[in-house]
Homo-oligomer: A and B are copies of this chain.
Amino acid sequence: MLRLKQLGIDTCHETVAFLARRCPLYRAQEFVALARIEISGGGRRIIATLNIVDDESIMAADELGLSQLAYRQLGLPNGTLVEIAQAAPPPSLEHVRAKIDGAVLSPEAYQAIARDLAAHRYSKMEIAAFLIAGARFTTAPEVLSLTRAMASVGSRLTWNGDRIVDKHCIGGIPGNRTSMIVVPIVAAHGLKMPKTSSRAITSPAGTADTMEVLARVDVGSEEMHEIVAAHNGCLVWGGHANLSPADDVLIAVERPLSIDTPEQMVASILSKKLAAGSTHLVLDLPVGPTAKLRARESFVRLRKLFEYVADEVGLNINVVGTDGSQPIGRGIGPFLEARDVMQVLERRDDAPRDLEERAILLAGHVLEFDPALRGGHGIARARELLESGAALAKMRQLMAAQGQPPESAALGNLKQDVVAPRDGVVGAIDCLRIARVARLAGAPIDKGAGVDLFKKIGDPVAQGEPLYRIFAAFEADFRFSTRFAAEGNGFSIQGIS
């Protein structure tokens, strides 16, 4: 038997085991072709991808090294005696093979797949195979099955009351931080809106990252329930709740592969909402030339898929198409976006109007879920709650309830203006490119890194006038970001003729 050793290597969402090439008990070569081994001991058992170690200063020949994730999954202490064997593929992989061959899979097949995904039994290759097989052809009932399966394999939040409202955006539009305005408005009105958000994965800021500039978001499930009971809402990080863990596993492969199919998007979002206990959802689908949805046609198709699955799982959904032609607000990055949000809530003269209007629109739709509100009055009610200061007061309550953030944020010290190369009018802003400039600058890891936009579509600019300012806190990031912006700043300036 081999002695277990936790290695200080984080293999990022894949369970990996390390076997010495000179292991006296097993020959590493034998396991190489199929790449996956099963590790068992102490009544526990996991599957891991095999790496071979030639250097005995990393681990001894009679040890079995485990990556951080594999060590957590196996849950046995260092030194435990374990056996290894060629791993049989996870049983649900036969369904993936059937999918590759063009089959329509049953709800039970998706259950089995989601279970194995959540238990980290799939290698990244196998996850990629599942995603690509589904990308070519997945029926709406299959999306429904996958949604239910993903929701069922994690934890589930339950709430008192039969009307738990939520609002979600499919993302892709920098600065679109409306949740932090919608939640205070809706909670101030009296609907229950327990918002769990994610941190950014590939974008420059998630709602959790941005809220963390103002308050603690790392809030456990019990405490979240107390805050919602007291204040009708919260704005916390959803990571503690273990909602749809299969989705987290899929995302770790979707992002590097840039796979973002409508089917995966629907299953990902709705499984999390189901698990979070939402009953009523307003879904924001921005459409624009550099948004995730680029055409009216794909918007309609995605809307219908969301509606079909939501109807079947009993989630009341209202899908709202919005203008996704450019970033919303001015700031991109947690600190700058939090600043914009507070300007809107505090009714400041310089508050970005587009962010305010977008938040009022979406809050209005959420408020329409209140049966007591007269039909068509949602937007007016939302505006009233914002203008009266009720939303600001509610935001202050939520911040106080959630507590101080773990560290205070400030704008990055390194800054550079990106200027217009010619006179003209801003004709277009590339959301993807601007997001990447902000991301490379260090957002969201550095709360104060990002981009502050000075110009939006339709604004006249003079040659040499700043279009936006890059902020960074870290030298390498500042270099990555400014170099990338120099290769293409994301703005199209149209000449005036």
Contacts and interface: CB of A to CB of B under 8 A. Distances in A.
In the complex, which of the residues A35, A85, A255 has the most CB atoms of chain B within 10 Å of its own CB atom? Answer: A35
A445 B30 CA distance: 7
A8 B55 contact: yes
B51 A12 contact: yes
Contacts of A35: 12, 252, 255-256
A261 to B, nearest CB: 9
A9 to B, nearest CB: 6
Interface in A25-41: 25-27, 29-30, 32-36
B132 A256 contact: no
In the complex, which of the residues A11, A30, A50, A85 has the most CB atoms of chain B within 10 Å of its own CB atom? Answer: A30
A221 B100 CA distance: 40
Contacts of A58: 7-9, 58
Interface in A90-104: 97, 100, 102
Question: Which DSSP category, helix, strand, loop or mixed, fits chain A's interface?
Answer: mixed
Given A124-B125, A129-B128, A257-B129, A477 B36 contact: no
B258 A54 contact: no
Interface string A200-218: 0110000000000000000
A474 B27 contact: yes
Copies of this chain in its oligomeric complex: 2
A180 to B, nearest CB: 23
B10 A132 contact: no
B445 A54 contact: no
A362 interface: no
A157 interface: no
In the complex, which of the residues A33, A52, A58, A440 has the most CB atoms of chain B within 10 Å of its own CB atom? Answer: A33
A476 interface: yes
A72 B210 CA distance: 43
Contacts of A253: 125
Interface string A294-335: 000000000000000000000000000000000000000000
In the complex, which of the residues A12, A89, A253, A442 has the most CB atoms of chain B within 10 Å of its own CB atom? Answer: A12
B125 A12 contact: no
A9 B132 contact: no
A126 B50 contact: no
Given A35-B256, A125-B124, A136-B133, A9 B100 contact: no
Contact of A54 (B8, B50, B100): B8
A147 interface: no
A336 interface: no
A53 interface: yes
Contacts of A33: 201-202, 255-256
Interface in A43-95: 50-55, 57-58, 67-68, 85-86, 89
Given A12-B32, A86-B480, A480-B85, A55 B255 contact: no
Interface of A: 7-12, 18, 21, 25-27, 29-30, 32-36, 50-55, 57-58, 67-68, 85-86, 89, 97, 100, 102, 123-129, 131-133, 135-137, 201-202, 252-253, 255-259, 440, 442, 445, 474, 476-477, 480
Given A7-B55, A9-B18, A9-B55, 10 more contacts: A12-B52, A29-B445, A33-B201, A124-B125, A125-B127, A125-B253, A125-B256, A126-B257, A128-B129, A132-B133
19 contacts: A9-B52, A9-B58, A12-B32, A12-B52, A27-B474, A27-B476, A27-B477, A29-B445, A33-B256, A35-B255, A89-B258, A100-B132, A100-B259, A102-B136, A124-B124, A125-B253, A126-B128, A129-B131, A132-B133
